[in-house]
Chain A
Amino acid sequence: MANIAVARIKREFKEVVKSEEVAKCHIKVELVDDSFTSLRGEILGPPDTPYEGGTFILDIRIPETYPFNPPKVQFLTKIWHPNISSVTGAICLDILKDQWAAAMTLRTVLLSLQALLAAPEPDDPQDAVVARQYKETSDIFSQTARHWASNYASAPHREPVMDDKVAQLKNMGFDEHKARVALSTHNWDIEQAMENILS
């Protein structure tokens, strides 16, 4: 499969590795295998956001028609964000769909995703629950997003109150992640969250 997709990914690798963002450890791309069609991306949570300091891993699949069609990207790290599914990690971003342009590269895609973390677009949501929380109770959204980033992306800033609530449910025998999802969905009301898990 010595097609244009592979040739281009090889060239892009050189570009990403040399770029100054990599030097500052903001973005990173790695090979998963030798095929150049399955890659592993990494972005750093941008400063002054709930994701600050977190490391988010991305699964990047290069289609055979690349660069004429966009790469398929999704988050492997669990994240609480209006435009990213908290269940599957699927991303709602126009440049990964109809606004893709052939001159875009892995580097610009990763930088765009970093920008998406800094500027959510709640009117075009991927995760409706998160988007509603973002619009209605932005404080709780920020804390929840920070809590998720500290637990899944090893971001430094913790949310002790939320950690305690998750620990409470975990001690009662619930699965930690299910407890976290239920609490996040019900604005950290323990009783509602428990009802939700048991129903």
Chain B
Amino acid sequence: MSATDSTAGASGSGGSTQGASGSSGDAPEQPDTSTYECNICLDTARDAVISHCGHLFCWPCLHQWLETRPNRQVCPVCKAGISKDKVIPLYGRGSTDQKDPRDKVPPRPQGLRTEPENNANFPGFGFGEGGFQFGIGAFPFGFFATTFNFNNGRPPPPGPGTQQHGEEQFLSKVFLWVAMMCVVWLLIS
């Protein structure tokens, strides 16, 4: 009602004095409160959400705006593209609702939580180091794996003539024999 009265007085007389006194009276609180006003109802935002373009709304107000024009969903302030999934709810400390926000109609979108980035390396499992693989079951995979080794990111196989090369050749033969014996055993039994 006070709004009506002051309005009628100021607009009726066009009085600059009344306008001036009104603005000076409200001046101290004006900058603080208006910052957190919903851009649609112009009241302090409740169930506040913020668009990616940074504009603040009550969620019920913004929801109704998006429902009014489902084909042309734009920010009511800057007309940037906007959608239900692209607004962020604001949770102030003092404004924790006793009720679950999901009970309200319409439900406010949930905040987006991303897990912090994990920089720790996996502990090395030691498989295949040195270009070495085991054959599993009846087939001598090891034979192919060592022969056709694509060597992705692993240290190159030792050159011929070194002691390690000799050992690997020997082991390769041992495994080949073991595989052969398995095959023979399977055929016999």
Contact = CB atoms under 8 A, between A and B. Distances in A.
Interface of A: 4, 7-8, 10-15, 17-18, 22-23, 25, 28-31, 34, 65, 67-69, 98, 101-104
Given A4-B41, A11-B43, A101-B76, 19 more contacts: A7-B41, A7-B43, A8-B40, A8-B41, A11-B3, A13-B3, A13-B7, A14-B3, A17-B22, A22-B10, A23-B16, A23-B19, A31-B8, A65-B68, A67-B40, A67-B41, A68-B40, A102-B40, A102-B65
A29 B11 contact: yes
Nearest to A34: B4
Contacts, number: 71
Contacts of B3: 10-11, 13-14
Contacts of A65: 68
B10 to A, nearest CB: 5
A30 B65 CA distance: 27
Interface string B1-45: 001101110111010100110110000000000000001111100
Contact of A101 (B4, B10, B14, B74): B74
Contact of B39 (A23, A69, A103): A103
A17 B43 contact: no
B19 A22 contact: yes
B176 interface: no
B42 A31 contact: no
B42 A8 contact: yes
B72 interface: yes
Contacts of A31: 4, 7-8
26 contacts: A4-B41, A7-B43, A10-B3, A10-B4, A13-B4, A14-B6, A14-B7, A17-B6, A17-B7, A17-B11, A17-B19, A22-B11, A22-B19, A25-B14, A28-B11, A30-B12, A67-B40, A68-B68, A98-B72, A101-B77, A101-B79, A102-B40, A102-B76, A103-B55, A103-B76, A104-B76
